[in-house]
């Protein structure tokens, strides 16, 4: 005699939740939800210039050996300050205002990153 398998309510619920999570992750990836990475290495930002859409995020990673970095931006419309970044640390910035910005390092004055944020 064969036993007929009937999915339980719990297994249906787990499947629906899993499908929703996977769908959300795929939608986020398609929309560019992951932050753009800015490396701080050899006392410079890499890349030196980047274009974003309003609402996108930059992730500043200090991968410069034993050196501290301190990324900041101060303008009339938008500002942030990472504080001192230890080697290996990261700092995320959501750019919510369109415009052209210059990100600097408070420790290494020659470091400059051009950020162009479109609407």
CB proximity list for 77: less than 8 A, separation 6 or greater: 97, 99
Question: Topology of 36-118 in CATH?
Answer: Immunoglobulin-like (2.60.40)
What are the domain boundaries of the chain? 36-118
- pLDDT (tens digit, 9 = 90+) per residue, 28-48? 444 456 899 999 999 999 999
pLDDT confidence band for 5 (50 / 70 / 90): low
Over residues 59-76, the mean pLDDT reads: 97
Does residue 17 surpass a pLDDT of 80?
no
Over residues 61-75, the mean pLDDT reads: 96
Higher pLDDT, 1 or 34: 34
- Give the 3-state secondary structure of residue 79: strand
Residue 105: its pLDDT value, please? 98
CA-to-CA dists, residue 23 to 17, 56, 114, angstroms? 10, 20, 34
Residue 34: its pLDDT value, please? 84
Q: Are 59 and 92 in contact (CB under 8 A)?
A: yes
Does residue 24 surpass a pLDDT of 60?
no
Does residue 71 surpass a pLDDT of 90?
yes
């Amino acid at each position: 005699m064969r036993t007929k398998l009937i999915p339980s309510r719990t297994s249906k619920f787990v499947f629906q939740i899993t499908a929703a999570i996977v769908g959300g992750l795929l939608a986020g990836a398609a929309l560019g939800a992951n932050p753009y990475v800015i490396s701080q290495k050899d006392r410079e930002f890499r890349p030196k210039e980047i274009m974003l859409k309003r609402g996108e995020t930059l992730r500043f990673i200090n991968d410069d050996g034993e050196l501290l970095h301190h990324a900041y931006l101060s303008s009339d419309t938008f500002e942030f300050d990472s504080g001192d970044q230890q080697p290996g640390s990261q700092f995320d910035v959501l750019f919510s205002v369109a415009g052209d910005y210059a990100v600097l390092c408070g420790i290494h004055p020659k470091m400059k990153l051009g950020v162009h944020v479109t609407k």
